[in-house]
Chains A and B, each alone.
Chain A
Amino acid sequence: MLVERIARGDAEALGELYDRYGRVAFGMLYRMLPGPEAAEEVAQDAFHAVWRRAGSFRPERGAVRTWLLAICRNAAIDWRRTRGKRNEREVSMDSAGELLAEGKVDERVLDALAAERVRKAVAELPAEQRDVLSLAFWGGYSQSEIAARTNTPLGTVKSRVRLGMTKLRQRLVDER
């Protein structure tokens, strides 16, 4: 298994992991961060984190792709909190408005049917749920930050996150 090879110190296996998921990871970081340089820097940090943590990956707990995604997202959030400038963050708060921004999909990484299924699942979410998921996912904002910045009670934000994610999961995972 790829991650086991990485854990044993096989750098080529890390390259193979990049071959499989690097485009998605980089595309996600590119959207979360203020520019290509930041995305590139964080992508390198994230793959280094994969290298260090491969020994503790537990396949029974989830797939490699979601593990890598979480590492990339956490690395991006860390970057924004420690190195990102305030104005860069503000810009992203505005641009994080859509969970699936029109025209930004890289069609090479998925087939059209899968994309349509995801678009439909997202489109069916109530707008207020879609908005908080977008701010959290692409903006890297915590529920408390979203509540403060949108003048919404924290309990309401939490409820929207929970309901939105549950619906998304039902449509994309449970009905698969």
Chain B
Amino acid sequence: MSMTEERHPTEDLAAYALGALDESEATAVASHLETCDRCARDLAQFEDALYEAAVVGAARAETPRDLRRRIVLRHRGARAVRATDWSARLREWVARPVPLAIPVALAALLVISFAAVGTARREADTYAQALAGVADGRIVALAPQKNAPAEARGALVIPRTGDPYLVLKLSGPPTGKTWEAWVIKGQRPIAAGLSGSGGIFTIVLSAPLDAGDVVAVTLEPSAGSSAPTSDPVLAGST
């Protein structure tokens, strides 16, 4: 169950705005904020208050004379988001995703394929339960990429109603890292949810998903990234 369904991290928002949560706590709050406008509005008010305090409390310091020039020069002529390159490569990798849209009726095959790779029965059951809620809709298998951990599997579930979500089988991310889902529209990757879980788990996509979008999963720093910083481990095209 995600934090969104569980509870709002109301009591942690002030500390989150201050940057005073421990890493794991901050990751959980950041993940919740991706999908919760109410908490995002609460957080914005704390941040507003901090900005006012920062303006008054900031040191009286002359800004270095040529700092502005250096900042501008560093980026003049550069492209805005390096992820463009990443996205272009990704499109090549998923040119032939395996397999494409699978009717929900065949979801059981995916369950079996997960279970067949030496997973425990309990994990197979977890996966089956994750798919059982889909009364109608589509499932898109995500293809493991070159750098995918052994036995990595994933599926994108697009229910007729409700948000699309990923069902993933991945080992737990290394310390300080998290799995991050992406929806890539054309050349633009949009962060779509985090999970620090291992085994079989789900990520509800927080970004809107349209036909033709690419969905991918990468390993990112624990607070998540605004653009992918590593190659995808799983990817598929809707």
Contacts and interface: CB of A to CB of B under 8 A. Distances in A.
Given A6-B80, A53-B227, A136 B15 contact: yes
A65 B82 CA distance: 24
Contacts of A19: 68
A5 B48 CA distance: 23
Chain A binding site: helix, strand, loop or mixed by DSSP? helix
Chain B binding site: helix, strand, loop or mixed by DSSP? helix
B52 A172 contact: yes
Given A62-B44, A137-B18, A12 B72 contact: yes
Nearest to A144: B22
B3 interface: no
B54 A24 contact: yes
Given A30-B58, A110-B56, A23 B19 contact: no
Interface in A1-53: 6-9, 11-12, 14-15, 18-19, 22-24, 26-28, 30-31, 36, 39-40, 43-44, 47-48, 51-53
Interface of B: 11, 14-15, 17-22, 37, 40-41, 43-61, 63-64, 67-68, 70-82, 188, 190-191, 226-227
Interface of A: 6-9, 11-12, 14-15, 18-19, 22-24, 26-28, 30-31, 36, 39-40, 43-44, 47-48, 51-56, 60-63, 65-66, 69-70, 73-74, 77, 99-101, 103-106, 109-110, 114-115, 118-119, 122, 133, 136-138, 140-144, 146, 158, 161-162, 164-166, 168-169, 171-174
